[in-house]
Chains A and B, each alone.
Chain A
Amino acid sequence: MSIVALMARDLRLATRAGGGTFLALAFFAATMTLVPLGLGPQLRLLAAVAAGILWVAAVLAALLSLDRLFQADFADGSLDLLSLGPLSLESIAFAKIAAHWLTTGLPLTFLAPLTALLFDLPGRGYGVLVTSLAIGSPAVSAIGAIGASLTMSIRRGGLILPLLVMPLLAPVVIFGAGSVKAAIDDSPNAALLFLAAFSLAAVLLSPFAAAAGLRLNLHA
């Protein structure tokens, strides 16, 4: 199985009935609907917190589907088969990360500006909101994959995964939301560059850590 074939298989699994994509988007929309109910309907307040809330909700929505990243394939044995094939565990991890991003991070990137409209996000913020999500959400999938690989043998891994991954994702949220705020304030946007640097490093290094997680669960 090549990397592309593995990605195509995961894309089909995620987008068909019972897949994660729709659920992640629905969770994101539901969270964004709850926020004004909690904070009150004043648009000025909502516009001020929009960038941060959008980023937090996007990260939570991506986390929601992460625990299934390896778990289902581990439980039914397909991960064992994959590991016997020609692909290295690192490549398998990378393919899974890419498929997860294509089915959660990327759709969230397109849904976010629509949600931002409901929060009255100032006009200057939209371009950077989409850019920052496009740049930063791969890091969420990549770092989340480390947590997913470490917890895949735990029956209720979905509960422990957010605790493991949340502190590691702090820079993504800080730079992601910070870049949107900088764009609204019309100040120089160093946050976007930091976000890009963090995301590149995360996507580059995470497959190795995730492969270590897969290895210890498959061969221990």
Chain B
Amino acid sequence: MMFALANPKRFMEFSGTSLPWIASAAGILIGVGLYFALFVVPPERLQGETVRIMYVHVPAAWTAMMAYAIMAVVSLVALINRHPLADVAAREAAPLGALFTALALVTGSLWGKPTWGTYWVWDARLTSFLLLLFLYLGYIALWNAIEDEVRAARAAAVLAIVGAVNLPVIAFSVEWWNTLHQGESIFRPGGPVIAPVFLWPLFVMAVGYTLLFASLWIVRIRTAIIRRSIRARLSGIREQ
């Protein structure tokens, strides 16, 4: 299916029909999730009302990591198959990933103020997210710095893959260095330690954020394809 969509024309047709559905599903899920997060979920025993920040913070962090994984996998496909659409797809995922990383950092530090008493602590997960943001920024900067598009695409793809190989090591080293962030409380052996009341709106939000990422990503890829075809036509007119 991925290779069938590699044809830009087929991609435009498929994404054109599916985009409204994905985008409205994202809107509905985020709307429902936010309603439950803000009005239905009870205040938590220790953190009080501030627990509601979790519903915008945790999905942002998940989406940011997912975006990097997608970017790295698409980059690998682009390097192996030399397909321009894969180059575009990887490039257009990066600013979104950086955005979700920044969102996770901002909401995290706003959550940190009432619970830890400070906006920023050099805790392991915060630090590794800051480094993730720099990886995204470096990737975007490399794309912009190299004029030749084919060369830029390959260089950025190599960087994305090197980053993906190194990310677990960075995460481990930062974890070793300092830990204050609460430990893993959802995906752990023995089941989640969060009560289901708190948990299921979180998953609604997570799916909503993922679909939001997907729809923004599709919009960006479509825009890039359209821009390229406009440029091709304009240069065709100039030559005549």
Contact = CB atoms under 8 A, between A and B. Distances in A.
B148 A171 contact: no
B34 interface: no
A151 B132 CA distance: 20
Interface in A141-179: 146, 150-151, 153-154, 156-157, 160, 163-164, 166-168, 170-171, 174-175, 178
Interface string A189-220: 00100100010000001000100110011001
B146 A153 contact: yes
Given A164-B138, A216-B154, A209 B162 contact: yes
Contacts of A212: 154, 158
Nearest to A220: B151
B146 A174 contact: no
B150 A160 contact: no
Contact of A168 (B146, B166, B172, B174): B166
B158 A160 contact: no
Contact of A174 (B148, B159, B176): B176
A80 B204 CA distance: 55
B135 A167 contact: yes
A170 B163 contact: no
A21 B131 CA distance: 29
A170 B131 CA distance: 8
B169 A213 contact: no
Nearest to B173: A171
Interface residues of A, number: 28
Contacts, number: 83
B154 A168 contact: no
B148 A220 contact: yes
Size bin of chain B's contact surface: 20 to 34
A204 B141 CA distance: 27
Interface string B149-178: 011001100110111011001101110110
Chain B contact residues: helix, strand, loop or mixed? helix
A157 B145 CA distance: 8
Contacts of A191: 176
A163 B154 contact: no
A187 to B, nearest CB: 13
A220 B141 CA distance: 20
A209 B173 contact: no
Given A166-B134, A174-B174, A213 B151 contact: no
A213 B146 CA distance: 13
Interface string B165-204: 1100110111011000000000000000000000000000
Name, among B148, B154, B165, B166, the residue most crowded by chain A CB atoms within 10 Å (CB to CB).
Answer: B166
A187 B173 CA distance: 18
Contacts of B131: 167, 170
B137 interface: yes
Interface of A: 146, 150-151, 153-154, 156-157, 160, 163-164, 166-168, 170-171, 174-175, 178, 191, 194, 198, 205, 209, 212-213, 216-217, 220
Complex A-B, nearest 10 residue pairs according to Cβ-Cβ distance, in ascending order: A171-B173, A216-B154, A164-B138, A167-B131, A220-B151, A167-B134, A150-B155, A163-B138, A174-B173, A154-B145
Given A160-B145, A167-B166, 8 more contacts: A146-B158, A153-B146, A167-B138, A167-B170, A171-B166, A171-B169, A205-B165, A213-B155
19 contacts: A153-B146, A164-B141, A164-B142, A166-B138, A167-B132, A167-B163, A167-B166, A168-B135, A168-B163, A168-B170, A170-B173, A171-B172, A171-B173, A174-B173, A205-B165, A209-B158, A209-B162, A212-B158, A217-B151
